[in-house]
Amino acid sequence: MVKRVVTGNYAAAFAAMLAKVDVIAAYPITPQTFIVEHLSEFVNDGLLDSAFMRCESEHSAMSACVAASATGVRTYTATASQGLALMHEVLFIAGSAHLPVVMPVVNRTVAGPIGIWAEHNDTMPQRDCGWMQVYVEDNQEVMDMTIQAFKIAEDKRVLLPIMVCLDAFILSHTVEPVDFPEQDKVDKFLPPYRPDHAVLDPKDPMIIGSFSPPEYIQEVRYQTDETMRNALEVVEEVNAEWAKEFGRDYGGLIEEYKTDGADAILITLGTVTSTARDIVDEYRAAGKKVGLVKLRFFRPYPTEAIRKVASKCKAIGVYDRAVSFSAGGPSWIEARNALYGYTIPVINVLAGLGGRDVTEPDIRLMFDKVLEAAEKGEAENEIVWIGTRGVKP
């Protein structure tokens, strides 16, 4: 076992090498650029035997991955922000044609105004493209989930593409110790991709992406929906296998932290989870009954798991690093949908948009708001903007 101090970007790139990807197609964009650079180094140093297409845009990079995946090989790309927005229309093809492309997305604010720091308004709008999304908390999880992503995506019950979402700079450019899985163990965990459902091969001709009348497309939508639901189970299985082989259990779809006996639970995603763990410890030590749920998978959405959490507390707060204007944060909207019929207050806390640092006082305020709602059985404001000048939280 080798432990090295590396960035999230390095972990994302190294994981692709461990997964022995066949075709990489990518385009640089801050703060993802280092992923492309590291992969270039691996290829040019002969460490990674992949075809590496240095494309002229993210649109082309995703197109190349889709076409290569449809030809039957393991594919990988990485992007962020505007790059993901530019890929938008291509993403749907991977989802509907069941092409298990794996893509780390370094979550960065989408213009305007242009910025380069962490916000989830790049990945959240992609929720309906037929891609799975997992949000990670530290660089070890970047590494582990990028490898697991291939296994989940390529499972015959799923066959869907997946984004591994890591916060800009907070992970992408931050170094911390990461345990590097050994190649032979990864090989055993992740066998080569040998698809049957989509392979362009002159010896076995197949049409993929045909112009299709309404008689067929609704069934294709159902196929994507069903396989996305199948992924709920596959995520748990792969997590369990990873835990067994590599000793790290992420909890699968969600991870619960000190939720037993909690009156007020905060659901977070991304790196805010990490800081929130400290605040939970602090509040618990002070006798405040708070708990934390780390929402790992946003697609497939873990409806049942969220319901179980809600049935054991008095109020829930949902943290979002993105907003659907006039309607609240996307993660909150999903949680409220999952909790239809539950009578406990479910409030939304918005912070860290545009990459603004989410501080400990910010997170304390989040917990305070949820505690208050738990005590009163209702919330003064359902949607709370935290740390916004001129706006009372």
Per CB under 8 A, does 207 bind other proteins? yes
Kindly compute the dihedral angle of the four CA atoms of residues 165, 169, 170, 172, in this order, to the nearest 10 degrees: 50
Secondary structure class of 149 (helix, strand, coil): helix
126 binds other proteins (CB under 8 A): no
Write phi, then psi, for 39 (nearest 5 degrees): -65, -40
Cβ pair 317, 309 in contact under 8 A: no
Options 46, 219, 286, 340; binder of other proteins; rule CB under 8 A: 219
Least gap, CB of 365 to other proteins (angstroms): 45
- Is 43 a binder of other proteins (CB under 8 A)? no
- Closest approach of Cβ 342 to other proteins, in Å? 32
The helix (run of H) or strand (run of E) holding residue 143 is helix 139-154
Restricted to residues 57-76, the positions that interact with other proteins (CB under 8 A) are: 57, 59-60, 63-73, 75
What distance in Å separates the CA atoms of residue 393 and residue 350, rounded to the nearest whole number?
10
User: Smallest distance, Å, CB 210 to other proteins?
Assistant: 4
Q: How far is CA 273 from the centre of its chain?
A: 13
Contact segment (CB under 8 A) with other proteins among 95-103, 113-121, 285-293, 378-386 equals 95-103
Q: Read off the tokens for 113.
A: 């105004």
Residue 235 to residue 179: CA distance in whole angstroms:
21
Is there binding between residue 162 and other proteins (CB under 8 A)? Answer: no
d(CA 74, CA 258): 39
Residue selected from 3, 5, 128, 209 as contacting other proteins according to rule CB under 8 A: 209
Q: Provide the 3-class DSSP secondary structure of residue 194.
A: coil
Interface region with other proteins, contact rule CB under 8 A, candidates 54-62, 234-242, 326-334, 380-388: 54-62
Task: Rule CB under 8 A: choose which of 15, 25, 272, 346 binds other proteins.
Answer: 25
Indicate which single residue of 205, 287, 341, 390 sits in contact with other proteins (rule: CB under 8 A): 205
Residues 6+ apart with CB under 8 A from 305: 253, 254
Report how far apart, in Å, the C-alpha atoms of 172 and of each of 78, 105, 176, 223, 231 are. 12, 10, 11, 34, 27
Q: Is 208 in the site for other proteins (CB under 8 A)?
A: yes
The residue ranges that bind other proteins (CB under 8 A) are 22-23, 25, 50-51, 53-57, 59-60, 63-73, 75, 89-90, 93, 96-99, 159, 197-198, 200-202, 204-213, 215-216, 219-220, 222-223, 226
